[in-house]
Amino acid sequence: MNLSKGFVLALVVTLLVLSAMLLQPFIQYVLGAVLLAYVLYPLQIRLEAYVSPMVAALSLVILAVAGFVAPFVVILATVVNGADRILQDLNTDPGQIEVVESRIEELTGQEVDIAGELVSSGREIGTIVFERSTQAFGTITFHLIGIALALFLVYYLLKDSDDLVNWLHRTVPLPMDIQRDLYGETNDVMWGVIFGHVSVAIVQGAVAGVGLAATGVPNAVFWTGVMMVLAMVPLVGAIPVWGGAVVYLYLTSEPLLALGLFVYSVVVVGITDDYLRPFAVDRYAKLNPAVILLGILGGAYAFGIMGLFFGPVVLGALKATLRVGLDNWSRIDESEVS
């Protein structure tokens, strides 16, 4: 290696390290943008047959934002209405709070003043919020910047997708047929992981919805759909819905149903999520369930929330690279010599 090649290599390594340092604070948003752009890419290709790439990309970004915001607003409004209804029920029955207090005393042996605790807790929360307002403002600003960055990345990844693909073909020092084979297997793994997570989310939401319907929770069908959507969000899942349903049943004087729903959700729904996900991803991604489970758990620790998606993809891409590389090793050597 001569001096010029050594300098170029050192410069590339240095810039790669600096670029990684720049991306690290927003890595979750960058990975999320890559995942969303990957999912929307087939739609981008179809829309480009009718409109320009810029219009197609902008339309898909607006559609993605609307698809997230609209369900969030509906869910939030439903939760607020449900909470307001519960509060009205408690207000119309002054003895309801005393009943809850007496049950807590029976279980714990300690007297509890719910109204007083709520007032004091509200004061403490107000004090904490005031003291940490600057920190909270910084955190909110950071996440808003991250969301804006992710949307910009999605837009440009879609708009310039053809240029990006052509750049990869020109930059990767492999014959074109080997590149297509490698990209094809990686693409299969990526879609397999996505379909696996989606299918498990649908099953998990449906299983949890059976528990809601069996215990008489209002609007069980609606909340089942909500759980299917939330189950696609890593580390969130259906817990907020069935957990809220457990609290609702307890506050409406149905402690046995609340306990039954809690046990059912923890055991049955938990098993659905923990054990079905690796096998579902294996069904589409053609990876061993043990490898998928390692990718999911390791990815969560290595990359955070988005690692639940990208962990199995990294291991799948490694498998594809080893297979394609070893099968074409002699050709790679010949191309290097030539």
Which pLDDT value is given to residue 168? 82
101, 114 contact by CB (below 8 A): yes
Q: How confident is the prediction for the chain on average, in pLDDT? A: 76
Q: Which of 83-92, 106-115, 226-235 has the highest mean pLDDT?
A: 226-235
- Nearest CA-CA partner of 89 in 219, 218, 253, 220: 253
pLDDT in tens, 17-28: 888 888 888 888
What is the distance between the alpha carbons of residues 21 and 39, in angstroms, rounded to a whole number?
27
**Cα-trace Rg, the chain:** 26
Rounded to an integer, what distance in angstroms lies between the CA atom of residue 327 and that of residue 246? 55
Given pLDDT bands bounded at 50, 70 and 90, which one contains residue 72? low
**Boundaries of every domain in the chain:** 26-171, 174-328
pLDDT of residue 170 exceeding 50, the answer is: yes
Residue 191 class from Cβ within 10 Å (0-12 exposed, 13-18 middle, 19+ buried)? middle
Q: SS3 for 302? A: helix
State what percent of residues in the chain have pLDDT above 70. 71
Which ranges in the chain belong to alpha helices (H)?
3-23, 27-47, 53-92, 95-108, 114-131, 133-159, 161-171, 176-214, 220-230, 239-251, 255-264, 270-285, 289-303, 307-327, 329-337
On the question of pLDDT at 331 being above 70, the answer is no
In the predicted structure, residue 100 carries a pLDDT above the cut 80: no
**Range ranked top by mean pLDDT from 176-185, 203-212, 252-261, 292-301:** 203-212
Candidate ranges 135-139, 155-159, 163-167; pick with highest mean pLDDT: 155-159
**Residue of 294, 299, 321, 312 whose CA lies nearest to 27:** 299
pTM: 0.69
CA 5 to chain centre: 42
pLDDT, average across residues 97-115: 59
Q: Which segment of 51-65, 96-110, 241-255 scores lowest on mean pLDDT? A: 96-110
CA atoms of 267 and 275, how far apart (whole Å):
12
Select the more confidently predicted residue: 316 or 235.
Answer: 316
- Whether the pLDDT of residue 188 is over 60: the answer is yes
**What are 260-316's pLDDT values in tens digits?**
888 888 888 877 766 776 677 666 667 777 777 788 778 878 877 788 788 888 888
Mean pLDDT confidence for 147-168: 87
